[in-house]
Amino acid sequence: MAKFEKANSVGEWLDQRLNLTALNKVMMTEYWIPKNINFLWAMGVLLATTFGILVISGLFLMMYYKPDVNLAFDSVNYTIMQEVAYGWLFRHMHGVAASVVFLIIYIHMFTGIYYGSYKQGREMIWISGMLLFMTFSAAGFSGYMLPWGQMSYWAAMVITNLFGGIPVIGDALVVWIRGDFNVADATLTRFFMLHVFLLPIVIMGLIGLHFYTLRIPHVNNQDSDEVDFDAEAEKYLSGNKKESQVIPFWPVFISKDLAVLGIFLIFYFYLVFFHYNFAMDPVNFDPADNMVTPAHIYPEWYFLWSYEVLRGFFFDVGPVKAFDIGLAAFGFANAIFLLLPFLDRDTQILPAHKRPKFFIWFWILMVDLIVLTVYGKLPPTGINAWVGFFAATAFIILFLILPIITKSDAKKRGA
């Protein structure tokens, strides 16, 4: 055991036992970030804050929410929204944050893609991030069920039905997931458990992993410059702050994050108070009714692009059913981003504007995702169905040709 001496302060007492000074250095004051970053690098802190808001507002909601098909709707729309002091505030904060968190995740994700932050040594950052995205998606979906409104019920019906398309075990899997032959009380109760316990715990673990994956390769920067972090850190510590290419996480990096956070919170609370409707589908204010199907069933905006890939393939091809093609495409869409570091065959880390073909690829992908998102909400009839089909096909082709494009960019540079 280490030798302990009498401490002169609480801080010293803790320092002897927990080595807080060293921890503080590693985590904050000597955790080095490249200086050459823009506000897009603040998205991590924004996400952590939004997740914090979700957890805290969620705890308050859980105090009054009843996971029971007979009580759920009224416990949300009457008890929480009207009886509990400021219950409406917590619900709107939770609902809006659930939507906004995906906006920030997407910005975070496409920043990574644009600047090549998933490449050469940073694969684990990307993969852990994508796992976080998937877990957030599961948390978003399971949470959407809980108010037991019409869209909650039918979204759950449609999404759980998808698993029926899996060969051999499909039908049994659907029953296993629902805990019943139908979307019913058992489904609601287990989704409640997933939403308030299991998935948040997994998210917290993954956030820890995601942070850890940054420590060794360090974060990328605007020009994808390779930085010798040790040498630059030395410069900084010796007082040569202007010439050093790096800054410490605390207080320099975080000061910019907090400035960006200030702007973000104005935007976020503006939505909470004055524009919460965008995150609250009006159909979901009708109680769930298994006898009446809504005119249009669609998921929340952040799932629309992959939903549109799912239903974009609306006609059978020979013996293969449209549903099965769609399901395969849906599976592809949800897994392919995970493989991005291995699809990009460029030997160098460079931002998109220094890789001409990749640059075009990136913007086509952005446009395609927006088209998929918009058409994912519209009724899939007439011309809409065809737009969906072409956009879904384009999405798949984009990823199939990515290795060729990135290789060709590298070749042209003479690499």
Which residue ranges make up the site for other proteins (CB under 8 A)?
35, 38-40, 74, 77-78, 81-82, 88-89, 92, 103, 107, 241-242, 247, 251-252, 255-256, 258-259, 261-263, 265-266, 269-270, 272-274, 278, 280, 282-287, 295-296, 301, 304, 366, 370, 373-374, 377-379
CB of 251 to other proteins, least distance (A): 6
Angle between helices 322-336 and 383-412 (to 10 degrees): 40
CB of 370 to other proteins, least distance (A): 5
Query: Could you tell me the two tokens for 87?
Result: 């219950």
| Pick 160 or 284: Cβ nearer other proteins | 284
CB-nearer residue toward other proteins: 72 or 199:
72
Pairwise CA distance, residues 153 & 141, whole Å? 11
Q: How far is the CB of 94 from other proteins (least distance, A)?
A: 15
For residue 248, the cross-strand partners are 32
| Cβ-contact 288, 73 below 8 angstroms | yes
- Provide the 10 A C-beta neighbour count for residue 335: 11
Encoded tokens for 25: 């250095």
**Nearer to other proteins among residue 141 and residue 236 (C-beta):** 236
Strand ranges, E, within 149-223: none
Q: How far is the CB of 33 from other proteins (least distance, A)?
A: 11
Q: Which CB atom, from 35 or from 355, has the smaller least distance to other proteins?
A: 35
Distances (CA, A) of 412 to 72, 310, 408: 60, 36, 6
- What is the smallest separation between the CB atom of 402 and other proteins, expressed in angstroms? 21
Q: Which ranges constitute the DSSP H helices of 275-344?
A: 304-312, 322-336, 340-343
Min dist CB 301 to other proteins, Å, is: 5
Alpha carbon distance 413, 384 (integer Å): 41
How far apart CA 133 and CA 111 sit, in angstroms, is: 14
Task: Considering the complex, state which of residue 156 and residue 369 has its C-beta at the smaller distance from other proteins.
Answer: 369
With respect to other proteins, which residue has the nearer C-beta, 167 or 239? Answer: 239
Distance CA 408, CA 355 (A): 10
- Give the shortest CB-141-to-other proteins separation in angstroms: 17
How far apart CA 96 and CA 14 sit, in angstroms, is 40
166 vs 280, beta carbon nearer other proteins:
280
